[in-house]
C-alpha cells in the first residue's frame, strides 16, 4: 500500500517537473548600457507568443520551453536571439545599431522603418543637419533630400523660406508643404505682424518657423508622395514635413546637462563693382566735394551668438527634457537683427500599470526683429539698398543733406525705425491608452497661440518721401493675434498573425484658425524722437479703442472735404454704416484704425490600413475626409484616398543576397486637396470699409465701402492626383544604398483669382479654372560608405531631382505676372500664365544687338529650376570629423530687375553706376523689360563646411563629452549670373493675384559666415 502511494507521488512529481520543462515563465529586464528600454519586442521565434517590456524595461514571458529561441528586438538596436535553457530570470543588454537608427521614419500618426515604408519618405537626422548660423528648421535640410527645393528669400535673418516638394503644384494657392511639429499641424501663414507701407513699400514675409530652436530638433521626415501625405488630406497636396523634437529617453536615470554655444562672424560675400569716388569724377559725375563708399556705409561685419542649455533625464516611468536658448543674429546691413529667446519642455510619464502614457511638449518663444528701410517693391527712388547703389560717391554721410528726388542712405538709417516683437506658444498634451495588447487609443490636444506687434516710424527729419511724413512724422502700428486649437482622437489596432501583420488606424481631427488684429496709422507729431512717436501712437490707440463698439474702423482728424476734426466710426453691423462721436484729445494730427477678425475651421475623419505578408509584400491604404469652412455647403467636404504597394525583392529566392542587401519596389497612387491661398470667406458676398489713408496734408481719406469677395457657391477643392514608382536598393550590407523614383502629379480645379465677367464690381474673383497643371520628374539619391573601418569612416551622399512643370488644357486668357519695380518700370511685368508652358514662363521683348523689340514674346524659359542637386561628404578619423556640403540648381532663368532699374544705361550724372556698364557704353533703344536683363540662374554653392574634434574623456568625471567645432557657410559660389546671387525667391503679388519667381530686385545679400562652437555634456 505504501509502495503504491510512493509510486503515485513520484509519478506526479515527474509529471510536474516535465510540465516545468515543457512550459516555463521567465522574467527580466532589458537595457542599453545607459538605461532600461521600454517597448522592446520579446517573442518565441516561430510562434505568436510575445510581449513587450514596460516603462521600467521589465517583462514576463509565459509558455517557454527548453531550447526555444527567444528574440529581443527594438528599433534602432541589434536584434538578439537567446536559446532558452530553463532559467527563471533573463536580463538582456541590447547594442545600438547605427544602420538601424537611420531606418526610423516618422510618418503621419505613427512610425515605420525605411525598409517597411511603402511611400516616398526620407528622413534627415540631427547628425546630418546643415551646420552654421541656422535660424529656422528648413535650413537644416536644404539640399539633403532629392526633390525638395529650399530657397531663402534673402540673406536677412529670419527672412521667409520657400519650400517646394516635387515641383510647384498650384498656380495661385499656397505651394508650401504642411509642417507637423510633434504631431501638431501648424499653419504656414506668418504669425508676425506684416506692417504697412509708410513710404518704403511692403516688406517680405517672416518665416513662421523662426520660433523653433533648431537645436531642439531630433529629426525631420519628408513625405513626398500622395500615399504618404493623403493621411493629411487637403493639407498634404504639397508634401508634409514632420518635425520631431528631442526627448530625454536616452539621458539615463541620473540625468545630464548639455551646454552648447556658437559664435558666428558674418560678412558680405560679394558686392557690386560700383565706381569709386575718383572713377566717378573722372567719368564726368557731379562732384559734391565728399568721398564715401556707400556700400561700406550700410554693410557691416558682425558677430552673432547662439547659446543653449538643456537638462535631460530618463527614469522608471518616463523621461523629461527641458531647454532654454538665446540667439542674437545680426544682419550684414545696419539696423538688422533677429533676437530669439526660447524655452521648451518635453515630458512623458506612464500611469495605471504603464497602460496610460501622458506626454506634453511645449515651446515658448520671444522673437525681436529689427529691419532697416528695405522693401521688396520700392518705387523709382528705391529703398536703402537702392540708395546705397545709386547714390553719388562724392557726398558725405550727413543724414540731413537733402538729395531729393533721390534718397540719402544716411538719412534712411538715421530717421527710420522698424521693430517687431512676437510671442508664441506651441503646446500639445496627449493621452495614449493601451486598451488591450492589440487595441490602443490616443487623444491629442494642441494649442498654437501668438501675439505680434510691429512698429514702423518715419521721423519728421526724413527726406525724399512724398507721403506727408516730411516735417510731420508718420507711424504705423500693426497688431496680429493668431490662435489655433487642435483636437484629435485616434484608435489603433495591431495584430500579428502566423505570416502576416496588420496595423489599422482610424481617427477624427478638428482644428480652428483665428487671425485678428489692428492696423493703426498716424501722422503729424510734436516730437522728433522715433521712440516717442511710436509710444504716442500706441497710447492714442489705447485711449480711443474703447470709445466705440462693434466697429470695423475709425478715424480721428480732418477728413478730405472737411474743415474740422472729427471722430468718425465705421461699422459693419447690422449693415454698413458710419457715425460720429465726441472728439477725443490726441497729440496726433490724424489717426486711422482698421480691424479684422477671421476664423477658419477644418474637420476631418481619416483611416489607414497597413498589411504585410511574410514581411515581403506590403500594402497601405488611406482615406481622409476633410470639411472646410472656406467652401460653401455644397462643396465643404473633400475625399482623399490613396493606396501603395511595396515588394521586398531581396527576400525572394530568385534574388541573391550576395548581390542585393536591399531591393524594394514601390508603387503608389493618391489624391490630395488644397485650399491654402484661398483666404477667408471667398465663396460669399462680403463688403467692408476701405482702409482710411492719410494724405500729404495730414487729412484722412473719405470712407468708401468695397467688395472684398463675390458669391462663389460652386467654389471647390483644388485636387492633385499623383502616382509614382520607386526602387530602393542596397549592396554589400547597404554600404552602397540609394533610391530611384519617378512621379507624375496632375492638379485640377486650380484655384485662381480670375478676371471677372464684366460688368462686375470686382475685376477679379476666386474661381476654379479648367486646366491641368502637370509636374513630373525623376529623383535619384545615393549614399556610399567609401571607407568603413574602426578608425576611419568616409561617407558620400548625392541626390539630384528633375522636374517638368506644364500648364495644359487651359483655355482662359493669358495672365501677366512677375511685376517689376524701379524707375520707369511701374506696371511692367515679365512673366505670363499661358497654356502649354510652365508656371513663371517669361514674356519679354527680345533684344537684337541694342535694338529692343516693340512687343513681348512668350519664351521657352522659366523661373523654375529643372534640376536641384546636393552633394555632401563626411570623414571621421579617430576623434576628428569633417564634412562639406554643396548645393546647386540648374535650368532656370533669373530676371535682373536690379540692373534694369538702376544700371540700364551707361550715364552717371548725379547717380553712380556699375563700372562695367559705364565702360561698355551699351545704349539700348529702350529700357523696357527685355531679354537683355534675363540671365541663366545655374549655380553651385559650397553651402557649408565643418571640422570638429571630440576630446577623449574617461567619462568618470563631471564632464562626459566635450566637442569643439569650426564651420563656414556660403563659402563660394560658381555661377554665370551677373547679379550678387542667382538664388532669389520673389513672391510679389500683382493685381491679378499671381505670384512670381526668380526675379532679383534689391535682394538682401546672403552673408558668408564663419562659426566657432563648443558642446559640453555633464
CA proximity to 797, closest of 888, 883, 871? 871
pLDDT (average), residues 436-442: 93
Of 463-477, 556-570, 989-1003, the poorest mean pLDDT is in: 989-1003
HSE on the CB side for 695, CA within 13 Å?
10
**CB 150, CB 138: distance < 8 Å:** yes
Q: What is the pLDDT of residues 846-859, one digit of tens each?
A: 999 999 999 999 99
At residue 41's C-alpha, the angle toward residues 119 and 608, to 5°, is: 30
> Lowest-pLDDT range, 363-367, 559-563, 672-676?
672-676
Peptide bond just before 405 cis, omega within 30 deg: yes
**Cα(668)–Cα(663) distance, integer angstroms:** 17
pLDDT tens sequence across 619-658:
999 999 999 998 888 889 999 999 999 999 999 988 887 8
pLDDT band at 16 (very low <50, low <70, confident <90, very high): very low
pLDDT score at 131: 79
- What's the grid cell of residue 452? 505680434
Q: Are 705 and 624 in contact (CB under 8 A)?
A: no
Place of cell 538665446: 326
Which residue did the predictor score with more confidence, 23 or 85? Answer: 85
Q: Over the stretch 373-406, which tens digit does the pLDDT of each residue have?
A: 998 777 778 899 999 999 999 999 999 999 999 9
pLDDT category, 343, cuts 50, 70, 90? very high
> Distance of CA 148 to CAs 117, 461, 665, 827, 985, Å?
19, 47, 21, 33, 15
111 vs 647, residue with greater confidence:
647
Extended beta strands in 271-301, E state: none
Q: Is the pLDDT of residue 14 over 60?
A: no
**Residue 2 predicted with pLDDT over 80:** no
**Range with lowest mean pLDDT among 17-21, 56-60, 165-169, 877-881:** 17-21
Whether the CB-CB separation of 76 and 70 falls below 8 Å is answered with no
User: H or E stretch including 412?
Assistant: helix 409-414
Query: Looking only at Cα atoms, what is the longest distance across the chain?
Result: 135
Is residue 759 pLDDT above 60, yes or no?
A: no
pLDDT band at 275 (very low <50, low <70, confident <90, very high): very high
Confidence of residue 757 (pLDDT cuts 50, 70, 90): low
Q: Beta strand pairing status for 24-31 and 92-93?
A: parallel
Q: Is 284 helix (H, G, I), strand (E, B) or coil?
A: coil
- pLDDT at 19 exceeding the cut of 70: no
Q: Is the dihedral of CA 95, 99, 103, 104 positive or negative?
A: positive
Question: Is the model's pLDDT at 988 over the cut of 70?
Answer: no
Nearest residue to 172 (alpha-carbon basis) of 771, 706, 669: 771
d(CA 132, CA 619): 41
pLDDT of residue 12: 44
As a whole number, mean pLDDT of residues 451-460 equals 96
In this prediction, residue 641 carries a pLDDT of 95
Residue 806 has pLDDT above 70, yes or no: yes
Give residue-wise pLDDT tens across range 278-321: 999 999 999 999 999 999 999 999 999 999 999 999 887 899 99
| Domains assigned to the chain | 21-93 (2.60.40.1120), 104-243 (2.170.130.10), 244-631+650-701+724-1017 (2.40.170.20)
Q: How far apart are CA 707 and CA 311, in angstroms?
A: 55
Residues with Cβ within 8 Å of 769's Cβ and at least 6 positions away in sequence, in order, are: 171, 749, 750, 752, 754, 810, 812
| Whether the predicted pLDDT of 815 surpasses 80 | yes
Residues 18-33: what's their mean pLDDT? 71
What is the model's pLDDT at position 349?
Answer: 94
CB contact at 8 A, 452 and 480? yes
Q: Is residue 349 helix, strand or coil?
A: strand
Cis bond before residue 470 (omega within 30° of 0): no
Q: What are the residues whose beta carbons fall under 8 Å from the beta carbon of 922, sequence distance 6 or more?
A: 850, 906
> Going by DSSP bridges, is the β-strand pair 240-245/178-181 parallel, antiparallel, or unpaired?
parallel
Rounded CA-CA distance 625/607 in Å is: 9
On average, the pLDDT of the chain sits at 90
The β-bridge relationship of strands 764-788 and 841-844 is unpaired
Whether residue 148 is predicted with pLDDT greater than 80 in this model: the reply is yes
Taking only the tens place, the pLDDT of each residue in 908-966 is: 889 999 999 999 999 998 889 999 999 999 999 999 999 999 999 876 778 989 999 99
Rg from Cα positions in the chain: 32
DSSP letter, residue 47: S
Burial of 527 (0-12, 13-18, 19+ CB in 10 A): middle
pLDDT at 93: 87
- Residue 7, pLDDT above cutoff 80: no
Choose among 758, 985, 751: nearest CA to 864. Answer: 985
pLDDT tens by residue, 205-216: 678 899 999 999
What average pLDDT does the segment 497-506 reach? 93
The proportion of the chain whose per-residue pLDDT surpasses 70, expressed as a percent, equals 94
Name residue 162's beta-bridge partners: 151
Q: Give the residue-averaged pLDDT of 77-89.
A: 86
**Spatial separation of the C-alpha atoms in residues 703 and 95, rounded to whole Å:** 73
In this predicted structure, what is the pLDDT of residue 449? 97
Residue bearing cell 521712440: 531
Q: What average pLDDT score do residues 253-266 get? A: 93
Percent of the chain with pLDDT over 90: 66
How would residue 129 be classed by pLDDT, with cut points 50, 70 and 90? confident
pLDDT exceeds 90 at position 104: no
Q: Which three three-digit cell numbers place residue 550?
A: 462693434
More confident residue, 682 or 422: 422
pLDDT-derived band at 102 (thresholds 50, 70, 90) equals very low
Write the burial class of residue 741 (CB in 10 Å: 0-12 exposed, 13-18 middle, 19+ buried). Answer: buried
CB atoms within 10 A of CB 373: 31
Higher-scoring residue by pLDDT: 204, 874: 874
CA 158, CA 858: separation in Å to the nearest integer? 36
Question: Does the pLDDT of residue 144 top 80, yes or no?
Answer: yes
Cell 511692367 locates to: 828
Q: What is the pTM of this model?
A: 0.89
Distance CA 735, CA 876 (A): 16
pLDDT recorded at residue 755: 61
Q: Report, as an integer, the average pLDDT of 792-797.
A: 95
Kindly indicate the confidence band of residue 24, based on its pLDDT and cuts at 50, 70 and 90.
Answer: confident
Residue 112, sorted as left (phi over 0), alpha (psi -120 to 50) or beta, turns out to be beta
Q: Is 135 helix (H, G, I), strand (E, B) or coil?
A: coil
pLDDT of residue 429: 97
Instruction: Note the pLDDT tens digit of each residue in 171-189.
Output: 875 788 999 999 999 988 8
105 bridge partner residues: 112
Distance CA 151, CA 162 (A): 5
Q: Which three cell numbers stand for residue 206?
A: 517672416
DSSP state of 540: H
Above 60 in pLDDT, residue 17?
no
Burial class (CB in 10 A: 0-12, 13-18, 19+), 578: middle
Amino acid at each position: 500500500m505504501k509502495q503504491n502511494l510512493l509510486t503515485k507521488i513520484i509519478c506526479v512529481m515527474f509529471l510536474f517537473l516535465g510540465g516545468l520543462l515543457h512550459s516555463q515563465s521567465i522574467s527580466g529586464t532589458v537595457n542599453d548600457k545607459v538605461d532600461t528600454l521600454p517597448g522592446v519586442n520579446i517573442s518565441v521565434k516561430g510562434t505568436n507568443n510575445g510581449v513587450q517590456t514596460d516603462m521600467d524595461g521589465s517583462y514576463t514571458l509565459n509558455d517557454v520551453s527548453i531550447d526555444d529561441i527567444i528574440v529581443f528586438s527594438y528599433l534602432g538596436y541589434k536584434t538578439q536571439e537567446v536559446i532558452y535553457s530553463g532559467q527563471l530570470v533573463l536580463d538582456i543588454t541590447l547594442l545600438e545599431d547605427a544602420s538601424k537608427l537611420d531606418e526610423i521614419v516618422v510618418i503621419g500618426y505613427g512610425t515605420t522603418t525605411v525598409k517597411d515604408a511603402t511611400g516616398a519618405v526620407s528622413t534627415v537626422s540631427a547628425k546630418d543637419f546643415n551646420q552654421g548660423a541656422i535660424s529656422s528648421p528648413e535650413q537644416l535640410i536644404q539640399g539633403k533630400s532629392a526633390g525638395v527645393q529650399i530657397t531663402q528669400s534673402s540673406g536677412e535673418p529670419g527672412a521667409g523660406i520657400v519650400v517646394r516638394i516635387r515641383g510647384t503644384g498650384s498656380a495661385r494657392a499656397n505651394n508650401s508643404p504642411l509642417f507637423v511639429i510633434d504631431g501638431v499641424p501648424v499653419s504656414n501663414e506668418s504669425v508676425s505682424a506684416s506692417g504697412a507701407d509708410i513710404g518704403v513699400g511692403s516688406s517680405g514675409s517672416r518665416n513662421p518657423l523662426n520660433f523653433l530652436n533648431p537645436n531642439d530638433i531630433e529629426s525631420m521626415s519628408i513625405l513626398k508622395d500622395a500615399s504618404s501625405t493623403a493621411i493629411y488630406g487637403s493639407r498634404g497636396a504639397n508634401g508634409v514635413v514632420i518635425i520631431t523634437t528631442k526627448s530625454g529617453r536616452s539621458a539615463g536615470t541620473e540625468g545630464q546637462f548639455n551646454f552648447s554655444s556658437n559664435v558666428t562672424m558674418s560678412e558680405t560675400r560679394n558686392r557690386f563693382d560700383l565706381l569709386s569716388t575718383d572713377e566717378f569724377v573722372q567719368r564726368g559725375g557731379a562732384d559734391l566735394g565728399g568721398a564715401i563708399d556707400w556700400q561700406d556705409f550700410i554693410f557691416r561685419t558682425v558677430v552673432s551668438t547662439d547659446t543653449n542649455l538643456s537638462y535631460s533625464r530618463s527614469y522608471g516611468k518616463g523621461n523629461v527634457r527641458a531647454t532654454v536658448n538665446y540667439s542674437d543674429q545680426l544682419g550684414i546691413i545696419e539696423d538688422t537683427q533677429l533676437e530669439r529667446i526660447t524655452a521648451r519642455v518635453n515630458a512623458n510619464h506612464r500611469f495605471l500599470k504603464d497602460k496610460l502614457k501622458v506626454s506634453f511638449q511645449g515651446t515658448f518663444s520671444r522673437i525681436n526683429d529689427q529691419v532697416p528701410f528695405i522693401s521688396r517693391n520700392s518705387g523709382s527712388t528705391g529703398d536703402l539698398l537702392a540708395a546705397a547703389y545709386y547714390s553719388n560717391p562724392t557726398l558725405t554721410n550727413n543724414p540731413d543733406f537733402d538729395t531729393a528726388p533721390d534718397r540719402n542712405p544716411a538719412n534712411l538709417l538715421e530717421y527710420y525705425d522698424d521693430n517687431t516683437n512676437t510671442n508664441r506658444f506651441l503646446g500639445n498634451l496627449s493621452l495614449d491608452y493601451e486598451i488591450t495588447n492589440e487595441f490602443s487609443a490616443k487623444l491629442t490636444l494642441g494649442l498654437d497661440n501668438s501675439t505680434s506687434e510691429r512698429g514702423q516710424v518715419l521721423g519728421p527729419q526724413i527726406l525724399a518721401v512724398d507721403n506727408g511724413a516730411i516735417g510731420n512724422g508718420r507711424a504705423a502700428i500693426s497688431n496680429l493675434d493668431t490662435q489655433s486649437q487642435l483636437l484629435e482622437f485616434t484608435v489603433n489596432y495591431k495584430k500579428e498573425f502566423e505570416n502576416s501583420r496588420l496595423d489599422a488606424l482610424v481617427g477624427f481631427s478638428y482644428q480652428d484658425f483665428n487671425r485678428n488684429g489692428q492696423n493703426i496709422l498716424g501722422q503729424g507729431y510734436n516730437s522728433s524722437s522715433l521712440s516717442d512717436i511710436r509710444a504716442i501712437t500706441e497710447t492714442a490707440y489705447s485711449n480711443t479703442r474703447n470709445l466705440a463698439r462693434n466697429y470695423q474702423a475709425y478715424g480721428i482728424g480732418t477728413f478730405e472735404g472737411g474743415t474740422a476734426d472729427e471722430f468718425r466710426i465705421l461699422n459693419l453691423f447690422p449693415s454698413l454704416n458710419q457715425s460720429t462721436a465726441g472728439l477725443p484729445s490726441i497729440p496726433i494730427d490724424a489717426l486711422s484704425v482698421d480691424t479684422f477678425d477671421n476664423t477658419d475651421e477644418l474637420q476631418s475623419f481619416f483611416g489607414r490600413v497597413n498589411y504585410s505578408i511574410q514581411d515581403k509584400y506590403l500594402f497601405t491604404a488611406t482615406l481622409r475626409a476633410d470639411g472646410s469652412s472656406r467652401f460653401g455647403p455644397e462643396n465643404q467636404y473633400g475625399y482623399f484616398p490613396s493606396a501603395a504597394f511595396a515588394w521586398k525583392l531581396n527576400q525572394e529566392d530568385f534574388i541573391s543576397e550576395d548581390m542585393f542587401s536591399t531591393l524594394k519596389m514601390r508603387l503608389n497612387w493618391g489624391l490630395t486637396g488644397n485650399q491654402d491661398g484661398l483666404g477667408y470667406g471667398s465663396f460669399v458676398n462680403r463688403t467692408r470699409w476701405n482702409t482710411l489713408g492719410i494724405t500729404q496734408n495730414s487729412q484722412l481719406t473719405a470712407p468708401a465701402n468695397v467688395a472684398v469677395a463675390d458669391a462663389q457657391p460652386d467654389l471647390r477643392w483644388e485636387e492633385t492626383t499623383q502616382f509614382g514608382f520607386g526602387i530602393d536598393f542596397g549592396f554589400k550590407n547597404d554600404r552602397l544604398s540609394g533610391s530611384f523614383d519617378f512621379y507624375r502629379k496632375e492638379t485640377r480645379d486650380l484655384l485662381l483669382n480670375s478676371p471677372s465677367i464684366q460688368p462686375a464690381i470686382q475685376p477679379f474673383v476666386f474661381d476654379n479654372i479648367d486646366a491641368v497643371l502637370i509636374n513630373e520628374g525623376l529623383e535619384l539619391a545615393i549614399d556610399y560608405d567609401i571607407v568603413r573601418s574602426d578608425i576611419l569612416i568616409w561617407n558620400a551622399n548625392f541626390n539630384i531631382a528633375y522636374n517638368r512643370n506644364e500648364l495644359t488644357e487651359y483655355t482662359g486668357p493669358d495672365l501677366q505676372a512677375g511685376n517689376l519695380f524701379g524707375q520707369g518700370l511701374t506696371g511692367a511685368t515679365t512673366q505670363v500664365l499661358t497654356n502649354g508652358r510652365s508656371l513663371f514662363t517669361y514674356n519679354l521683348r527680345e533684344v537684337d544687338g541694342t535694338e529692343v523689340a516693340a512687343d513681348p514674346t512668350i519664351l521657352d524659359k522659366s523661373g523654375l529650376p529643372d534640376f536641384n542637386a546636393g552633394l555632401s561628404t563626411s570623414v571621421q578619423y579617430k576623434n576628428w570629423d569633417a564634412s562639406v556640403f554643396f548645393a546647386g540648381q540648374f535650368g532656370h532663368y533669373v530676371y535682373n530687375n536690379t540692373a534694369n532699374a538702376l544700371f540700364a544705361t551707361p550715364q552717371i550724372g548725379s547717380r553712380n553706376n556699375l563700372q562695367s556698364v559705364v565702360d561698355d557704353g551699351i545704349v539700348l533703344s529702350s529700357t523696357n523689360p527685355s531679354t537683355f536683363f534675363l540671365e541663366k540662374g545655374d549655380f553651385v554653392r559650397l553651402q557649408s563646411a565643418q571640422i570638429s574634434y571630440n576630446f577623449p574623456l574617461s567619462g568618470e568625471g563631471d564632464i562626459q563629452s566635450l566637442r569643439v567645432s569650426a564651420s563656414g557657410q556660403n563659402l563660394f559660389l560658381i555661377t554665370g549670373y551677373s547679379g550678387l546671387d542667382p538664388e532669389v525667391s520673389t513672391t510679389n503679388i500683382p493685381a491679378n493675384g499671381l505670384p512670381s519667381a526668380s526675379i532679383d530686385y534689391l535682394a538682401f545679400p546672403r552673408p558668408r559666415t564663419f562659426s566657432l562652437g563648443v558642446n559640453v555634456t555633464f
